[in-house]
Amino acid sequence: MRDFISMKDFTKGEILRILKLAKSLKENPQGNLLGDKIVSSLFFEPSTRTRLSFTSAAYRVGAKVLGFDSPDATSLKKGESLRDTIKMTGAYSDVIVMRHPIDGAARFATEVSNVPIINGGDGANEHPSQTLLDLYTIQEEMGKIENLKIAFVGDLKYGRTVHSLSKALSMFNCEFYFVAPDLIQIPEHILKFLNNRNIKYTLVDDYKDILPEIDVMYMTRIQRERFENLDEYEKVKTVYEIDKNSIVGKCKEEMIILHPLPRVTEINIDLDDTKHALYFKQAANGVPVREAMYAIALGKYHLDEDEMDVEKR
């Protein structure tokens, strides 16, 4: 059994083995892999992709799903604690997927749960399943993860997907550009993490300055819901908006644009039919990646195994 809380809990080898298992499950579906298992899906914050793709992934490996998509429908409304909610849900299921608005909530859940916890996003902290599908998409499209130049653009302060992905990519000798105004620039604790690992990065104001050099452009939404002061949100809400005209012909031919979605105005829909736009394929990759996460969380596969090809088991 294995929890998925932060990308710093995984080695490069473990990440590559998760991606290998996801690829194997995508190519060779295993409809009964977890046929005796029940997944709890506890979403204390809104979600479309993460909740539905974790649900789809469970069905595709034969597991059953229970849970909620709003805390208002639960006894949390009556004052029940997160601790008791997690303890009870663990009694009804074999693994818990949870999204919560408080940084560290998923780590806390591991301390009180007797079943594995998968973090579906905790506040502005981390989103490890998103990172694994981001890496899967990069590997599938670019043929490698190592030695890439990646620009993170937008809300880097509150963007938990950026925090998790930059931690993971620090293991792959990538070079980072953090493109954001000061108000929503990458937090100090992430820069400290990168400094401790001697990772090369540059803070940038205008993506146009680095567009011709990068291999991956990772766009993000400015997260209105996390701003304490909405006047600050108003100042930055449309700071980076890309469209076909601003990208095509001005970047490398093979550059890919990723976005964890949902988007608001930061990517014009006229980019969607260009070869650079990978964000819908990226979201679809969430299903096999999350199938693999269930299999590992529930001990069906172990990350120290040399051979994780399900066809050969």
Per CB under 6 A, the segment of 4-12, 44-52, 213-221, 267-275 that binds ligand CP is 44-52
Please give the backbone phi and psi of residue 228, each rounded to the nearest 5 degrees, phi first. -75, -35
Using CB atoms within 10 Å of the CB of residue 141, give its burial: 0 to 12 exposed, 13 to 18 middle, 19+ buried.
middle
Torsion angle, alpha carbons of 90, 95, 97, 102, to 10: 50
Q: How far is the CB of 260 from ligand CP (least distance, A)?
A: 4
Question: What CA–CA distance (Å, rounded) separates 286 from 118?
Answer: 14
Q: Which residues does the annotation place in the binding site?
A: 49-50, 78, 99, 127, 130, 160, 221, 261-262
- Please report the DSSP string for 292-311 in residue order: HHHHHHTTSS-TT-S---GG
Sequence-distant contacts of 209-213: CB under 8 A, at least 24 apart? 210/149, 210/151, 210/177, 210/179, 211/151, 211/247, 211/250, 211/251, 212/250, 212/251, 212/252, 213/149, 213/252
Closer to ligand CP by Cβ: residue 161 or 185: 161
Q: How far is the CB of 79 from ligand CP (least distance, A)?
A: 27
Q: Which two tokens stand for residue 210?
A: 């680095």
* Residue 48 binding ligand CP, by CB under 6 A: yes
Size of the residue set binding ligand CP (CB under 6 A):
9
- Binding track, positions 95-124, relative to ligand CP; x by CB under 6 A: --------------------------x---
Please give the backbone phi and psi of residue 287, each rounded to the nearest 5 degrees, phi first. -70, -60
Active site residue 49: yes
Q: Among residues 51, 99, 149, 163, which one is catalytic? A: 99
Q: Among residues 17, 100, 127, 290, which one is catalytic? A: 127
Using CB atoms within 10 Å of the CB of residue 107, give its burial: 0 to 12 exposed, 13 to 18 middle, 19+ buried.
middle
User: 6, 24, 30, 50: which one contacts ligand CP (CB under 6 A)?
Assistant: 50
User: 38, 47, 142, 246: which one contacts ligand CP (CB under 6 A)?
Assistant: 47
- Binding track, positions 121-160, relative to ligand CP; x by CB under 6 A: x--------x------------------------------
Closer to ligand CP by Cβ: residue 50 or 85: 50
Closer to ligand CP by Cβ: residue 142 or 261: 261
* Residue 13 binding ligand CP, by CB under 6 A: no
Per CB under 6 A, the segment of 26-34, 66-74, 256-264, 290-298 that binds ligand CP is 256-264
Distances (CA, A) of 109 to 105, 186, 274: 6, 26, 42
Q: How far is the CB of 19 from ligand CP (least distance, A)?
A: 18
Residues 174-193 that bind ligand CP (CB under 6 A): none
* Residue 261 binding ligand CP, by CB under 6 A: yes
196: number of Cβ within 10 Å: 9
- Give how far the C-alpha of residue 282 lies from the chain's centroid of Cα atoms, to the nearest Å: 10
Active site residue 37: no
Using omega within 30 degrees of 0 as the cis cutoff, is the peptide bond preceding 71 cis? no
Question: Cα angle vertex 191, ends 190, 193, to 5°?
Answer: 65
* Residue 262 binding ligand CP, by CB under 6 A: yes
Closer to ligand CP by Cβ: residue 47 or 56: 47
Active site residues: 49-50, 78, 99, 127
Residues that bind ligand CP (CB under 6 A): 47-50, 121, 130, 260-262
